[in-house]
Amino acid sequence: MRYLPLSEDDRRHMLAAIGADGIDALFKDVPASALLEDQIDLPPHAGEMQVEAAIEALAAKNTGAASAPFFIGAGAYHHHIPAAVDHLVQRSEFLTSYTPYQPEVSQGTLQALFEFQTQVAMITAMDVANASLYDGATACAEAAMMACRVTRRSKVILSGGLHPHYRDVTLTNARFLGLEMVTSEPDVDGTEELAGRIDGGTACVIVQNPNFFGNVKDLGALADACHDAGALLVVVVSEILSLGALRPPGEMGADIVAAEGQSLGNAMNFGGPHVGLFAVNERFIRQMPGRLAGQAEDVDGRRGWVLTLSTREQHIRREKATSNICTNSGLCALAFSIHLSLLGNAGFRGLARLNHGRAVTLADTLAEVPGAEIVNQSFFNEFTLRLAKPAAGVVDALGNDGILAGVPVSRLYPRRDDLDDLLLVAATECVSDDDIGRLAKALEGAL
């Protein structure tokens, strides 16, 4: 047998050793309402080959991003990942490394994190970045909590252009901290006005750029309004590649940047694992969540790296902790860093231009389709269409034709009938002219 489960005698001896009457005694603190009354509805046990065949059959029901015209975005994007990225991250010294508590034996890991932080700080135009968080949504929640600590205020204004998943994660965290969360109507056309809602109790305004609907804005005036009121501006970026073409948040006055780094080096993976990016102005560094890899010198003047300012133990001190983040997405961060290193400055900007160009071509083509209207006045590689029919049905119809046409906004705003006709479409460097032509033709037929 490959696996050796405990025998009844083993269980009996273990229960006797801890003074428990039975297995149920180990779960006495779990409410009865949370316990299952029946067995989980799963197939009976089977041999390894049979299990593999069953799992492969389930996986075959999915349509992979590389096997069909693919226009899905909404926070996770299909980009080409150089073969070198996967080859390098699977080296054993990276794949099996863990928390670098002992810097003397973790110099490689710490240097990689230091390089990653440097890259994130550079592309966001911020002073300092941490060694990654779980994903963009939790980074957004951490930004809200950090802003409240820094300002000693409790009101957070959430833009209507913030990704609904990011909004919901932030609301969930805030619910247990007594924070006042002010939500906004969906900012479909990118014209919402947030400055007038800021008052003396506002800790921060959280705005996404490009926003969930693809709109791009200059946030300089909003940053000034925040700072005049003693509040912070938090900028969320769900498509990190956009910073190769757009003015970075730091240059627009952002105090905190929370971003998703999946687009570089990391596959979509059905939604995770991804990698959260977090960057701040230096004066707020002691309130920054997560880890920080710092550069130092040893007694002989040689360069080295250490974890600085905070330790993991800080994050398990309950209400005294700056964060509930006690680890980081190290391998995903490494993949991000390798990909960005391979691109370099010119390659990063060139890939961003290529993405925008693909999206412009897609927009120009779909604008000619009867029954389809482009909502955006500006965008990077994703924009919103208003269709003559409910978008969910159109997406299903095109899916049956082997075309993954985008994300119906109603999927993320299920109780908003006024958004049923909106469709988010994204075009990356992986989208071909043939893909665009097939989508346009199929969309015209569906409408």
pLDDT, tens digit, 9 for 90 and up, residues 52-72: 999 999 999 988 899 999 999
| DSSP code of residue 369 | S
Confidence label for 37 from pLDDT (cuts 50, 70 and 90): confident
What are residue 158's DSSP bridge partners?
206
Q: Is CATH 3.40.640.10 the right assignment for the domain spanning 83-339? A: yes
Amino acid at 163: H
Overall average pLDDT of the 150-166 stretch: 98
Confidence label for 2 from pLDDT (cuts 50, 70 and 90): low
Measured distance CA(171)–CA(151) in Å, rounded:
19
Residues 8-29 have pLDDT tens digits of 899 999 999 999 999 989 998 9
Confidence label for 42 from pLDDT (cuts 50, 70 and 90): confident
Q: How many residues does the chain have?
A: 447
Look over the chain and give the mean of its residue pLDDT values, rounded to a whole number: 93
Confidence label for 3 from pLDDT (cuts 50, 70 and 90): low
Question: Where do the H-state alpha helices sit in 60-135?
Answer: 83-89, 92-95, 107-124
ω before 82 within 30° of 0 (cis)? no
User: Which CATH number applies to 65-80+344-446: 3.40.50.10440, 2.60.120.650, 3.90.1150.10, 3.30.565.10?
Assistant: 3.90.1150.10
* Model pLDDT, residue 324: 67
Asked whether the predicted pLDDT for residue 291 surpasses 70, the reply is: yes
CB 116 within 8 A of CB 337: yes
> By percentage, how much of the chain surpasses pLDDT 70?
97
Asked whether the predicted pLDDT for residue 98 surpasses 80, the reply is: no
Overall average pLDDT of the 275-294 stretch: 94
Q: Cα angle at 188 between 375 and 201, to 5 degrees?
A: 155
| DSSP code of residue 67 | G
Cα–chain-centroid distance for residue 266?
A: 11
Instruction: Mean pLDDT check: name the lowest of 36-40, 245-249, 352-356, 368-372.
Output: 36-40
Q: Cα angle at 287 between 286 and 292, to 5 degrees?
A: 60
Residues 305-328 have pLDDT tens digits of 998 886 656 666 666 777 767 777
Instruction: Mean pLDDT check: name the lowest of 248-262, 295-309, 374-388.
Output: 295-309
* Domains of the chain by residue range: 8-49, 65-80+344-446, 83-339
Measured distance CA(197)–CA(103) in Å, rounded:
47
Q: State the number of CA atoms in the 13 A half-sphere of 434 facing the CB.
A: 3
Measured distance CA(246)–CA(257) in Å, rounded:
14
Cα–chain-centroid distance for residue 189?
A: 23
3-state secondary structure of 419: helix
109 contacts: CB under 8 Å, gap ≥ 6? 94, 97, 100, 330
Measured distance CA(97)–CA(414) in Å, rounded:
42
